[in-house]
Structure 1
């Protein structure tokens, strides 16, 4: 397969789009701006999904289905990692260098969030459990001390699949870290053939979910990441096709509408994952009206914050729920029911509940911006400098 940079140009055509391609940073990593923005939208959707309540928009089927945004993360990760590292690893790029780049990208913020939970549980333990926080006991349930070290080292999803521990949403990061390692070894051994083998592996994992429900989280990761790698295998040929511009203009809203309909009705990964694949391949071209919106500064900002937003949102939303519980206990109101493990329920009517949700998401975005500026970006920059001193310089 030809690398994307070596593909011939598509024929010029008055009503056809020129073949798109990813921008690349100084390190050779592929960058699809619109897909990055979609990552931010998906992270915000997951944050919204973790705010529960009695209002219709906080407990309906569409709200519940937003957890499937994690599967889009898996597909997008497989695509972007294959685009950025697949060929380079197949040609001998240092595995240690790759591991440092991936670990430095993911672990520092995760480690900080686990530490924040340890400090919170310690404060709760020192103060003693009480009614203000729903009778919570410190270091119980998802914050069991026995699970702390594996959670900190991001292996918890492989030891206790299906359990959401400490920074609960990091189960998907645990799955991804193993997928990063496994795919790197496949590229080293099989070369770019690994991208084509990823498709049957993804299909097998998707089929196996019904047979092995205990391993659902792991299989979701294998399926999504495999589909993403397969998407990169076909992307150079698809991106070189001269497609009519009106078709591209219509495809984006149709796909988004189909995905929302699937969320609200079926919610089966056997339907949602293929839809996500189509969304990725269409929006990677970035030539439709929704792509134009996702290229704007606010969408690009949201995309830049996506990982920080995903990692901090449960802690921030949980503490805001605790604050509401504290205030309502003081004034004798009944706004929220709080429970250990993030199962807090807002009891307000739809209009005030909407205001609370907007405020929670706004505070979460501010916290994500702080985490990005103070932790994620400096750690990523440091890991790139460290990786630059490992192994031969890439061509």
Structure 2
């Protein structure tokens, strides 16, 4: 394999990919202030970037832990570290969303100001709170799982996928490199054959994560020391495939399933091709930073958007239309672009603060608790 120094830069390049994917998800959730922005193909189909997250996660976890889970103590430590990585930010956002529901309730009952979209605590009710609190929302139908902080469904799915990975590695270590691609193949086949649009969260996570494990095994086993095993065009080819999915696919089935092999090809291209313009661009400092704060950005952007929308309503009093059950102010194309830029700046600022004061400190505390030095 490549030297440790080279591997460091390759990890940074993958961080950049994660950051770009997170940015596209944020843009995907922009309200339909104006059809021009909302219906841009790369933004309209950016929900597939979550599946790219899953593949990246599988690659990282397999690379780091394929030979480290020898007993149940190792599994417990592994899962505790995953918990320390995910849960503090998740819990903070859950509390913020609970405060939003409470604010909506007070405004409605005390001041007669009714919500323009969903009534307070109708969908974000006690049972939804419990599902969110215990990280089990991904096991419910998609519509039921999209409560409180809706992006947290992927965190729920990943947390239990980590556990599945750990148990398989512990008990089936000798054949795990057969089991992992088999799980991925079964899940992709199920998505293709049954097209479970309303119950596919765990299938998507398992398909992506174990695709990532499979490409990690391939790279660890077959990668050359100089990192040059694949032609340079592998990276642009994978990017074209991923973009074609976001533009052409109509759902998480059929052509949309290309996202898994395309994401794997992108990872392999980054790690196993010679130095090229794509890899140099992915090594840009600002992209690496975006990848570093991507989890905080991903988890917090929905709450930022709710508050931002309220400010827009009060400040501009523009006409609103109900789109997918949500009352949405309407603006010109230019106004929407400006509003989107300001929104992104706020999201980036909050993501950096959340990373610095919540995500990173709690991750370090969980490692210190287990006496992990590096």
TM-score, normalised with respect to structure 2: 0.88
Distance 1:257 1:136 in 2: 38
2:45 equivalent to 1:65: yes
Distance 1:285 1:362, change over 3 A: farther
Preserved contact between residue 297 and residue 351 of structure 2 (Cα < 8 Å): yes
Note if 1:225 corresponds to 2:209. yes
Residue by residue, what CA displacement relative to the aligned partner does 1:132-190 show, whole Å, maximum 9, x if unpaired? 7516421122x122210221111111144443121100000000000011100000001
- Shift of residue 356, structure 1, vs aligned partner: 1.0
- State whether residues 22 and 32 of structure 1, in contact with CA within 8 Å, keep that contact through their aligned partners in structure 2: yes
1:87–1:121 Cα change, 3 Å: same
Displacement of 1:313:
0.7
C-alpha contact 1:202 1:222 (8 A) present in aligned 2: yes
Change (3 A) 1:161 1:349: closer
Structure 1 residue 120: Cα displacement: 1.4
Is the 2:241–2:258 Cα contact (8 Å) retained in structure 1?
no
Q: Distance in 1 between matches of 2:350 and 2:330?
A: 25
Corresponding residue number in structure 1 for 2:87: 107
2:215 counterpart of 1:260: no
- Superposed counterparts of 1:79-94, under 5 Å: 79-90=59-70, 94=74
Q: 1:384 to 1:243 in 2, by over 3 A?
A: closer
Q: Structure 1 residue 282 and structure 2 residue 262: aligned? A: no
- Could you say which residue in structure 1 is the equivalent of 2:286? 298
1:198-217 per-residue CA deviation (whole Å, 9 max, x = no partner) reads 11211111111241613211
Counterparts of 2:113 and 2:315, CA distance in 1: 12
CA offsets per residue over residues 41-93 of structure 1, 9 Å max, x none? Answer: 11111000000323323124432210000000111111101111121114776
CA offset digits 1:114-135 (Å, max 9, x no partner) = 0001111112211216667516
1:380 aligns with 2:368: no
Tell me the equivalent position of 2:218. 234
Number of the residue aligned with 2:132: 151
Partner of 1:43: 22
Gaps of 5+ in 2: none
User: Which of residues 289, 313, 316 is equivalent to 1:328?
Assistant: 316
SS in 2 for 1:284: helix
Structure 1 unmatched runs, 5+: 1-6, 10-17, 25-30
Q: 1:195 aligns with which of 149, 153, 177?
A: 177
State the distance in 1 between where 2:43 and 2:284 align.
26
Which stretch of the first structure deviates more once superposed, 157-166 or 177-186?
157-166
Matched, 1:347 2:353: no
**Residue aligning to 1:52:** 31
Q: Quote the Cα distance in structure 2 between the aligned partners of 1:310 and 1:182.
A: 24
Root mean square deviation, CA, Å: 2.8
User: Would the alpha carbon gap of residues 192 and 79 (structure 1) be closer, same or farther in structure 2, given more than 3 Å must change?
Assistant: farther
Query: Which stretch has the larger CA shift, 84-93 or 270-279?
Result: 84-93
Return the alpha-carbon distance in structure 2 between the equivalents of residues 192 and 388 of structure 1: 29
Secondary structure at 1:247 match in 2: coil
SS in 2 for 1:89: coil
**Match of residue 211 from structure 1:** 194
For 1:19 and 1:282, the matched residues in 2 are separated by 18
Deviations 1:355-388 (A, max 9, x none): 1111111111111111101100111011101122
Paired residue for 1:14?
none
